[in-house]
Amino acid sequence: GGRERPALLADVFESFIGALYLDKGLDTVVAFLEKIVFPKINSGKFAHVMDYKSQLQELIQRDGAGLIEYKILQEKGPAHNREFVSRVSMSGKELGTGTGRSKKEAEQHAAQMALEVLKNNLN
């Protein structure tokens, strides 16, 4: 099932780019990326593969809008059934909140809400 594993495919792609660089040089690598890879990234073909926190980070960095920060606001419930509430903010302004069974899940939901807010503001 290696053909289906994203981490393995990423490793193979990284190895291919390294081999192309060693064999043909940086100009060839850049030309390949500009012709094959960048158009797919720019059209959003890989957005479904990225988690919400990564998508939010890329959006913020692309626009140079500021720094994002995640904060756990609340932990509730017993240890075996914990629920977390997280907030994501940019330059002190709240962008979204989320809940989840883990801190990571709560942060993902907060980032998802922030992306929706930011995309609605762009439209």
Q: What is the pLDDT of residue 89?
A: 95
The pLDDT, as a whole number, for residue 76 is: 94
| Predicted pLDDT of residue 123 | 63
Domain ranges, ordered by start, for the chain: 2-42, 52-122
8 Cβ contact partners less than 8 Å away, ≥ 6 residues apart: 2
Mean pLDDT of each 10-residue bin along the chain, 123 residues long: 81 96 97 92 69 87 84 93 95 93 94 89 69
Model-level pTM?
0.60
The beta strand positions in the chain, using DSSP E, are 68-76, 83-90, 93-100
Residue 99: what pLDDT? 96
Fold category of 52-122 in CATH: Double Stranded RNA Binding Domain (3.30.160)
| Per-residue pLDDT, 35 | 95
